[in-house]
Structure 1
């Protein structure tokens, strides 16, 4: 009885809306058609020659929608004539046979008075990955594969790395494992300026590890490689209960350190994805965490002498002398640039990829 009384009281006081019939009125406006996806231009590149998409659109009319017809490249792929809400239709249409090339999607809506509206989107499934940012020369999204999209080349795999079952942005991030990492040759990567952008979810075990390294061989110490006169080393070390991100850059005759102290610390217990970016120009280096500079300064310029290997997820094989070996952390959305990114450009990438 209490429940019934409460329900009655709420209805009388207007807390629960009731559906009220609305007179049809005069049909004055044609339907409105909005295509939400795909958008104009290229889709995000995928290596498969055929892909699936969810076409997303909505139709609104001032009186009543009669029917909706969807075509792709002139062929019908969907039609609708039965609507729960006869004034508003929000539709997702799965399509699993999208091939490489240019496509035209058309959505045509008719209302009961014979008015018609057609909306068209021209888009592309690119055959190759189209870099999103100026100077972008390397991109690994780690979507269940170790494929670099600009050169369309596979990483060399050492040990048994895996995938995280989660991601900062995308499908599935890289998951490090003991004695495991990826390598690429440095062809086209060692330029006068260099930047890298990645998402990172730190695992504090082991208490130090390499993250991204391009370095020369250490002929004097073949079993404990630690030649820091060229290339760079992005790595982490324990700082109390935190992990501190550090960058070391070789200038040919020596080395320069970019250690932000406590500002460069990540708390592993937070379980959060952190965006890391490094920028290396001819005169200055910087380290960013979540878009904010935590260390930056001038230096004489980088040397790439002997730097023929890039390691992802470990300091090995070229930066192992201090124990900065394989990293059990997660890495996602790794991009490399042939320019020194500005803070604004770093922030733009972060915002576009925000988890």
Structure 2
């Protein structure tokens, strides 16, 4: 014990001598230098232009901004439409601060956000963003004519109209993008009138989480009535039918399109298979032009071929989540799968456009 104590005391003496001999630098005050520049104010959100449309007349946002200064920030003042909504003068880092300020009174129409930052030497910077809460949904993509985000409602935003609900579909409690996707149920689906959707070119894009039960189902269908078989219709001479069928343990996505005198099939084989045991959302898109049709899964072409152009004769109903009421003969009825972010376009999307939508909405 005595030996240990002696070694410890000797160690302390050596440490003390080392400090005195300059082995550890003394702490020196460094001048911050002259204050040469004004603060920099960077407003991250909202951006210039329209916000994403929501059906509520008043919405909440988080104002996201950053302020930096070469020496020291003195204070920051945030105002909305000329009214002060926040003032700040206490910062953990006096040269840089990043903030998110909640604001719950964004009404329909145009707004001006102004953020002013002052530094200790009296220099001031003001940054302004002019944005808008649109009264109606503003299409986000070229050619977009129909959009259902499925956020706890069956509302189509471009026309601001509700779907006709058949049976008792529900919501998934999860979403690919947003808050709550569509959840299919037995003998349940949604319909819309086809007015405005039956154009010479057509595309659809959506996210999908497949449920293998039942082993086949309709997903999106816009077809004509079947005079020859009204109780069990399967008229494929016009419109389109996007559906799934079992392929071993997988589910295969298929597209059938009517050309007026007959039909064309776009079946990608194994490339169009989805594994139901996967917990991943899958992005599906298909395009119809006057010369070609294509089916995409996760941005990749899984089926593509030449085509003479679609006929819309008698196609007055769009079905979502089932083949019913126009495509039921082979058992392509209601789909118990999840579906989210449904967009329809009056143009044939390119693969680059399909990929851009996928990237923008990626879960």
Q: TM-score interval w.r.t. the shorter chain?
A: over 0.9
1:256 match:
264
1:184 match:
192
List runs of 5+ in structure 1 lacking aligned partners.
Answer: 1-19
| Alpha-carbon distance, 1:106 to partner | 0.6
Q: Which residue, 110, 121, 124 being the options, matches 1:116?
A: 124
2:25 match:
none
The question of 1:287 aligning with 2:269 is answered no
2:344 match:
336
| Alpha-carbon distance, 1:23 to partner | 4.7
C-alpha distance in 1 between matches for 2:150 and 2:210: 16
Q: Which residue, 317, 326, 342 being the options, matches 1:318?
A: 326
C-alpha RMSD of matched pairs (Å):
1.3
- Structural mapping, 1:209-220, within 5 Å: 209-220=217-228
C-alpha distance in 1 between matches for 2:95 and 2:174: 39
- Structural mapping, 1:8-47, within 5 Å: 23-47=31-55
| 3-state DSSP of counterpart to 2:266 | strand
The question of 1:83 aligning with 2:62 is answered no
List runs of 5+ in structure 2 lacking aligned partners.
Answer: 1-27
Q: 1:96 to 1:22 in 2, by over 3 A?
A: farther
- Structural mapping, 1:1-355, within 5 Å: 23-355=31-363
C-alpha distance in 1 between matches for 2:353 and 2:307: 22
C-alpha distance in 2 between matches for 1:22 and 1:35: 32
| Alpha-carbon distance, 1:162 to partner | 1.2
- Aligned pair count? 336
| Alpha-carbon distance, 1:160 to partner | 1.1
2:8 match:
none
C-alpha distance in 1 between matches for 2:174 and 2:130: 32
TM-score (norm 2): 0.90
TM-score (norm 1): 0.92
